[in-house]
Structures are given as C-alpha cells and as structure tokens.
Amino acid sequence: MFEGFSLDRIELPEATLRVRHGGSGPPVLLLHGHPRTHATWHRVAAVLAEHHTVVCPDLRGFGQSSKPLDTPDHAGSSKRAKAGDCVALMRALGFDRFALVGHDRGAYTAFRTALDHPGTLTHLAILDGVPILEALERCTEKFATAWWHWFFFAQPERPERAILADPDAWYGGTPDLMGPEAFEDYRRAIHDPATVHGMLEDYRAGLAIDRRHDEESRAAGQRIRCPTLVLWSLRDDLERLYGDVLEVWRPWTTDLRGRGIDCGHHMAEEAPEELASELVSFLAPP
C-alpha cells in the first residue's frame, strides 16, 4: 500500500496531521470522508502519482491526526479550520497552489478551502457531496429518512456510546473491498474513542458553524473560481435526492463539469480505476 510514498506526522499551526505523500509533478491533495482514513485513497493515489505529487492526510479529528479541543460552537472541527490545515500542510510541503479532491466529509472541507482561499486552488474535485447549506435547505422527509445519521451524529454523547458498543457492526467494511492494510488502518480508527468523537464533531460542526459559514459565503456572492469537477456514485442517493446534481452546484461555481460513476458510495475503493482516470483527465494541463 502506497509503495514509494513517505508517511510523516507534520506539525501545523493548529493541528498535527498524519500524512502520506509521494510521486512527482503538480501537487494534488486528497481528502477522505467518514469514517475512513487517508488509506482509502491507496489505489487512486498509485495512479495519480505517475503524473502528480500526491498528498493524503488524515483530516484533523480523524485517523491518527490530532483531535481539536471541544468548544460549544465546534469551531475546531469546522470546515474552515480544516481548510486552514490544508493550506498550511501544502505550504509546509513546499506548495503555494495545488489541486484538491474531497470525498464525503472531505468534500465539505474542500469546498470551504475553495471559498476561503480562492487563489490557492488550481482545480477542485468534489466526490459524492453537495454544499451543507444546500443539503439542509433541501431537507425533506426523503432526505431525513436516508440521511438520518446527520441528525443523530449531531446529538451529544449518545452517538459515541452507540458506535463504540460495536464499531465493526456499526460501520462495516471488508478487507476484500478496502485492501487488507487499509482495512486494518480503518479498524484502528473506528475502535478508538477519541477518533470516533472527533469524527462525530465534524457532523456537529456541520449543522452549526459550517452552515453559518455557507450562509455568509452565499450572502457575499462567493463562488468557486477554479475549474470544478463533481462526481457522484450512481448506486448512492444523490441523484435520488437532488435529480440533476450539477444544478445544485451551478450557483456556487464558475467552471463546472461532472457525471455519475456506476459504484457505491466509497468510490475510491469500489471504482478506483475509473475515478483515477477521471481525475487524471481533469487535472491534465490544457
């Protein structure tokens, strides 16, 4: 897994991140989702590293990265705080500008990075997500039924107790799908109480401070300035919830493209070759 990559712990102004990085060429930062670690990218990263310098961190609060202090507003787990980590991490590695790919919860951090640091990104790829504000404002019985976990995870204490009673049963996953090493890395994360809490704080921030940041960005007329690719899993529920996923993103972007991929939610594990091909094409110089 990640042959030829380095594995480091990099201290940043507000967090210490576990980071895998390798390859050469224009930089691309890959952000995982819940409940994964950076290891979810290992098959995709191997392909991208033929053309790019690839950087895969555990997000703050996730995996073996540091856990932010709890505060009533959940600011330490906000996407704004994690976006700051992204910029600081890439600068620590020598890159002032970079491409950014985010899946699931990582997509929200990627989106916030594009809005808060508009001169930093060369390209943005969003995988299986719409802006948090859009999801909440479009919330219907269908959304609440399918995505009930958003609201459960935002409750205090009870989600941790439920998950940690049997993390394997709660989250699932198999070594055949994920790869043996990635699966073991993931299992270590979901069995660690501090990491489970850190992951849930990401959801608590989502329904509070992150929503407010999205509202402020929309009121200010902010839009993503770099080319944006949106990919979604056809066997997941974005199309069922929103119909034309690109129409949800159009008001937030200036240069948009995308399509569905025939796989389930964890596309880096279920369709790594197709996903890597899409990303290589998108990131290629004109």
pLDDT tens digits along 99-109: 999 999 999 99
> Which pLDDT score is estimated for 285?
87
Question: Are 202 and 61 in contact, with CB atoms under 8 Å apart?
Answer: yes
Q: Which two tokens stand for residue 117?
A: 């640091």
State yes or no: pLDDT of 286 exceeds 90: no
Exposure class string for 244-257: b at 16+ Cβ within 10 A, else e: ebbebbeebbeebe
Mean pLDDT over 162-180 rounds to 96
- Asked whether the beta carbons of 268 and 43 are under 8 A apart, the reply is yes
Q: Is 104 a catalytic residue?
A: yes
Phi, psi of 79 (to 5 degrees): -70, -25
- The catalytic position among 85, 104, 202, 210 is 104
Domain 6-283 fold: Rossmann fold (3.40.50)
Structure tokens at 74: 């959940």
What residue segments make up the domains of the chain, in order of their start? 6-283
Q: Are strands 121-127 and 228-233 parallel, antiparallel or unpaired?
A: parallel
**What is the arithmetic mean of pLDDT over 57-65?**
98
What's the whole-model pTM score?
0.97
> Please, is 191 exposed, middle or buried when counting C-beta atoms within 10 Å of its C-beta (0-12, 13-18, 19+)?
middle
The 10s digit of each residue's pLDDT in 137-159 is 999 999 999 999 999 999 999 99
d(CA 284, CA 28): 12
pLDDT in tens, 180-221: 999 999 999 999 999 999 999 999 999 999 999 999 999 999
Mean pLDDT of the chain: 97
Q: Determine what percent of the chain is predicted with pLDDT higher than 70.
A: 100
Pairing mode of beta strands 16-23, 6-11: antiparallel
DSSP H helical ranges for 2-104: 42-48, 79-92
pLDDT (tens digit per residue) in 23-37: 999 999 999 999 999
Work out the average pLDDT over 242-252.
97
